[in-house]
Structure 1
């Protein structure tokens, strides 16, 4: 009981201090040490730190470094080449100011589904959203929720083939790929998109009736501006801007379904006995797709870059903090999983719904994502500690690993956007708004509606299996 209480205390402090803005890089080892201290094992912390915390952190970095690096580089190249601006402007021109909310959501959705970092998308789309909302006389306080709906929900967790890191994390644990349960993923995406749009349009209509309007705001242009090359923005053709996004999804699908299944990889197993090609093929396909997209983007824009080296360096440097934040949370989770009290928590979670691991998995992912304020962090901790158990339970219950993959990713994208979530804090800073002004609507479209979609997927998956 003491050890269980120690875990709860350290988790609550981790959540509170992260909300207060303390970096997870420092919090994770400190809160792990606190849990060990309160469990009465403080004399063992240094060996636990070097053998458990650092091994788990290092293992995560080794496994997912290419995805974080290539994803950050691709997002920066899309922004600095002008491709992101070209795509968002094309959507604005076709839908117009009268459909401001739909325009912003679709612009964010297209970019994030194509592999552009949600932070890059937020910086790139905010100036457009601000002008659209002002022209349409829609309250500015709805801008963060609109960007969040397009960036943090269906394209991150539900759309099959999404290159988001969240969609890649379950691959080595379940032997799946980013297209897992495509039919259910599409259904969930439609629910999130339509449900979120309904909520935002209803709030806008209510504001219109009350005569609220856009509101009086001191716009922080310095925060809102991005590093996009203005000359490239005006010159880039739409087809060329869309090509890298198409390549990320298309090349990924080709290698996932055509190339790797047709290759005899028995020689790989003989030479690398610790590598499972079946489990790693999904990650390999994503690495190849992002590499092809980055190279294509650079080559297609040769002669149009203001400073290609600076763009590449900024993209590469930008991957490190998100990667090590998440890896530190994984290290923290590994320490917690080694404490005696975790067995009680694990058994309670695993047995919450005997016979249906989908519900148990959904609860675990939501809780850990909420505590850490990170979908990728919560998902990584849960799978690191419980992934083997869930796979075993799924096989015993006749549940497809693809369905487990999709439920895990969607659940991790539920309570991850509690107020202490770093992405939410960054988004509000970009928009120069406060939690009090905008958080309720953010929570509605990033937690409320996705929970409905998650319940629908679990229900349909239980009744009809993965499709």
Structure 2
């Protein structure tokens, strides 16, 4: 009984510390200690076995996905340094106009993240541009932040097929599928998220305008506006800026298209069987194209590449720490009882997948962390129950992107910190577009998959 209490206490401690802004690695280690001690684990088991090197260990995950994080961060940093990311953003802005600022924010973030640019780089790219958009269109800051979250942290993260996102790669690597698994279901879910999310944001903008609520500047906004103005006249064209993203996505899709066309080759099978390596190579190729196309990045390439490598470390360590937390949790009797309860519920398998992946991601406040734990601990049971790997890939991805954005989510906290917002001011809108809307889309896909498969 004390072990079950300790498991709940450890989870509550992790959430409380994260909400207070405590470093996630420190929060995880303290929470792991509470869970391990109350469940009778020895210190060496906690910190030298289960947390670092278990099937869901922090170092196990970091070793498997270091290359993908590194290449993704390099690509994102070089896209920013070359001003290509800004070129994409300003190109869409000029075509749609500032009055469609929420749609612009969503589209730019979606395009950049779908092409492999790291979410944190996207946030920092959109903030300087967003100051101008918010000011011209008189948009409340909370709604602009929600539009960024919708574009960067929902359908391109878990739904759309082919993306080199860590979530898509985790599922492919665990199930032996490729990055396009369950593609049509993903496209359908992505469309639902984008449409309903934008409907909600536009409606809230209209209501805010009627109440007299609008944009309020901060001292940091003035600095960001000056930065955007200083670089705005020197940005590359949108057509040129989008080429590295097209290359990344094209390289990922090309082997799949060849296979569908009946072309058989060993290297094609290799690319589909090694999603981490091939996605990493595609991202690296995109970075090389940036180097060739854009002179600004060549001036300080070594420093920029070093900054990209640094950018990879914090997300990798934080994600690995959350997964290591799960690696300890899954060793407890309470988790095994919880998993057994989930598997024994009188529910169709896909509904059970939806429920279990959501709950685990909610506990860890991480879609990637929850998905990794789900794949290592529960996915084999669903495969044995007859769920196809391709459907399991997409449904589990969609489900993991539901409760991952609860208030203690690291990405939510980072976005609010950057934009000078509090949970009280802005979390309601974030909750709707990154939790409620993805949950709805995932449930619709579950229903469709049950009818069609």
TM-score by length of structure 1 reads 0.89
**Alpha-carbon distance, 1:442 to partner:** 1.0
2:389 is the alignment partner of 1:401 = yes
| Whole-Å separation in 2 of the counterparts to 1:203 and 1:228 | 27
Compare 57-66 and 381-390 and name the one that shifted more. Answer: 381-390
Distance 1:213 1:333, change over 3 A: closer
- Give the 5 Å matches for 1:142-181: 142-181=143-182
Cα RMSD after superposing both structures: 2.4
2:365 is the alignment partner of 1:373 = yes
Partner of 2:411: 423
Partner of 1:101: 102
Distance 1:298 1:226, change over 3 A: farther
Distance 1:15 1:58, change over 3 A: same
Partner of 1:188: 189
Q: Note the alpha carbon deviations across 1:368-409, whole angstroms, 9 max, x for none.
A: 22222211112122222223223222xx3xx32111111111
Partner of 2:380: 388
Distance 1:351 1:316, change over 3 A: same
| Whole-Å separation in 2 of the counterparts to 1:353 and 1:247 | 46
**Alpha-carbon distance, 1:3 to partner:** 2.4
Partner of 1:310: 303
Contact 2:252 2:282 in 1 (8 A): yes
| Whole-Å separation in 1 of the counterparts to 2:230 and 2:299 | 9
SS in 2 for 1:458: helix
SS in 2 for 1:170: helix
Partner of 2:31: 31
**Alpha-carbon distance, 1:303 to partner:** 6.3
Compare 81-90 and 139-148 and name the one that shifted more. Answer: 139-148
Q: Note the alpha carbon deviations across 1:435-463, whole angstroms, 9 max, x for none.
A: 11111111111111111101111010111
Counterpart pick for 1:321 among 314, 329, 332: 314
Distance 1:229 1:136, change over 3 A: closer
- Give the 5 Å matches for 1:233-248: 234-248=234-248
Compare 375-384 and 436-445 and name the one that shifted more. Answer: 375-384
Q: Note the alpha carbon deviations across 1:182-218, whole angstroms, 9 max, x for none.
A: 111111111111101110111111112222232x332
Q: How many residues align?
A: 447
TM-score by length of structure 2 reads 0.92
SS in 2 for 1:319: helix
Partner of 1:333: 326
| Whole-Å separation in 2 of the counterparts to 1:229 and 1:54 | 46
2:290 is the alignment partner of 1:285 = no
Contact 1:82 1:229 in 2 (8 A): no
Q: Note the alpha carbon deviations across 1:107-128, whole angstroms, 9 max, x for none.
A: 1111111111111111111222
Contact 1:127 1:225 in 2 (8 A): yes
**Alpha-carbon distance, 1:95 to partner:** 0.3
Distance 1:223 1:455, change over 3 A: farther
Partner of 2:291: 298
4+ residue segments displaced more than 4 Å:
222-233, 276-279
| Whole-Å separation in 2 of the counterparts to 1:224 and 1:368 | 37
Unmatched 5+ residue regions in structure 1?
Answer: 266-275
